[in-house]
A = this chain, B = another copy of it.
Amino acid sequence: MTLPRFSDWGWFFLVWPLLAWSAEPVLRGTGDLGVIVERGAGRVVIVSTSGNSIVQRVEGLGDLSHASVVFSRDQRYAYVFGRDGGLSKVDILRGTLDKRIVQGGNSIGGAISQDGRLVAVANYEPGGLKVFAADTLDLVADIPAAYGDGKLSKVVGIADLPGDRFIYSLFDADQIWIADVRDSKAPKVEKFSHIGKSPYDALVTPNGRHYLAGLFGEDGIALLDTWQPQQGVQRILAHYGKGEEKLPVYKMPHLRGWAVAGHQAYLPAIGRHEVLVTDTINWKETGRIAVRGQPVFVVARPDGRQVWVNFAFPDNGYVQVIDTFTGQIVQTLEPGKAVLHLEFTPRGEAVWISARDDNKVVIYDTASFAKIAELAVESPSGIFFTARAQRIGF
């Protein structure tokens, strides 16, 4: 063998694989990753909870002024639902926008099916549910939220149920629907009417059993036991909503802001500086904890020992920590200006907090309350970790 003369082609053949290799993503697990929404920039930031660090940014996701995220079952893809009706499939290993469609005019959130094959979007405009194949984002079902004389209602409060089912509420129709999309050409829809005035948000309990819808038009919460749907929708917490003054709907606390820890649920009072405590066995209120502002999100540490609370303006620079064992506030923190969201690492040793107006995300140790790190993130809003892929109702 003789060495080749190093012509241009020679160098090319020697060097190209090294360049190509360096463009390949680093081999890594996905269990410790997450995404943070940069709400003003149409971007998400891919982060690592092991490194407390930013991995990469992904551009071009449209209007994320209100956005939520679900993950594929292998945790490789994040599906981002944007305010402008955009549905973006982000490859969090490659750090690329794998596919993006604009599937509606105005959208509020979405869900992924239990087996991960279907992604559903809850649309304000046109009012209804659209269901897509998770891999290709091809439309597989379109279920308009039709009521009355062919009117279409805004859809809110969507969650997945076991099987290829999604449960959601119709804000304008005062209804709760369960869509079974197993046969996507012929979806079956079960409808519950007169459930209460103007359901504006909802959640399912961690076991996927109870669906709770907040009502804007009256006090109380609408409860549907999905293991006994024939019992219909019941009213619980009849006084929930009696604030000192009526809040506009966009200031109503997120029901996703409820924490279920053990057999208690912790929820933001409406128009009061209180966290309510409710027994999830009989759904009766068992207590109230005074906090420093109007709570927005009340989030439980995974072991249920603590519940962390953020607040609406003008107290949105504060976070308080409740010890669920004693019912006492054990810490008041000031992470930064305009705290929008909180997310715990999967086993709960740390919590990540977005401070929109300080353009940073702050990470705390949940045992010592020491600040571990700060990350520069532009107008951060929602923080979502991949562990959600493996939890019912996320």
Binding site for B on A (CB under 8 A): 1-5, 7-10, 13-14, 16-17, 20-21, 24-25, 27-33, 49-50, 71-77, 93-94, 114-116, 162-163, 207-209, 227, 261-263, 281, 302-305, 325, 346-349, 367, 386-387, 389-392
Q: Are A346 and B262 in contact (CB under 8 A)?
A: no
Option from B17, B27, B73, B347 in Cβ contact (under 8 Å) with A114? B347
Name A92's closest neighbour in chain B (CB-CB). B29
- Taking A162-B348, A262-B207 as contacts, is the C-beta distance between A29 and B72 under 8 angstroms? yes
Pick the residue among B25, B75, B209 that contacts A31 (CB under 8 A): B75
Q: How far is the CA of A349 from the CA of B30 in the complex (A)?
A: 21
Please determine whether B162 and A303 come into contact, CB atoms closer than 8 angstroms. Answer: yes
Set of chain B residues within 8 Å of A32, measured between Cβ atoms: 73-75, 116
Q: CA A277 – CA B121 in complex, angstroms?
A: 40
Task: Say yes or no: A348 contacts B74, CB within 8 Å.
Answer: no
Identical chains bound together, number: 2
Name the residue on B nearest A20 (C-beta). Answer: B17
A49 to B389, CA, bound (A): 13
B162 and A29 within 8 A (CB): no
Which residues of B lie under 8 Å from residue A24 when comparing CB positions? 24, 27
Main secondary structure of the interface of A (DSSP, over half): loop
- Distance in angstroms from A112 CB to nearest chain B CB is 9
- Asked if A4 and B7 make an inter-chain contact with CB atoms under 8 angstroms apart, the answer reads yes
What are the nearest 6 A-B pairs in CB distance? Answer: A17-B17, A29-B76, A31-B75, A29-B74, A346-B390, A32-B74
Partner of A17, one of B16, B25, B50, B72: B16
Q: Which residues of B contact A77 (CB under 8 A)?
A: 29
Known A74-B31, A390-B390; contact A325-B227, beta-carbon cutoff 8 A:
yes
Q: Give min CB distance, A154 to chain B, whole Å.
A: 28
A281 to B281, CA, bound (A): 12
Can you show 19 pairs from A to B with CB atoms below 8 A apart?
A2-B9, A4-B7, A17-B20, A25-B27, A28-B93, A29-B74, A30-B30, A31-B72, A31-B76, A49-B73, A50-B116, A73-B347, A162-B347, A162-B349, A162-B367, A207-B262, A207-B305, A346-B390, A390-B390
Q: Please indicate which of the listed interface residues A16, A31, A33 has the most CB atoms of chain B within 10 Å of its own CB.
A: A31
B2–A7 touching, CB < 8 Å? yes
In the complex, what distance in Å separates the CA atom of A50 from the CA atom of B105? Answer: 33
Whether A31 contacts B386 by the Cβ 8 Å rule is yes
Decide: A346 near B389, CB < 8 A? Known: A4-B5, A162-B303, A208-B303. Answer: yes
Known: A9-B2, A162-B303, A263-B263. A31 touches B207 (CB 8 A): no
Is there an interface contact between B27 and A94, defined as CB atoms closer than 8 Å? yes
A50 touching B74 in the complex, CB below 8 Å, given contacts A115-B349, A302-B392: yes
Q: How far is the CB of A117 from chain B (nearest CB, A)?
A: 10
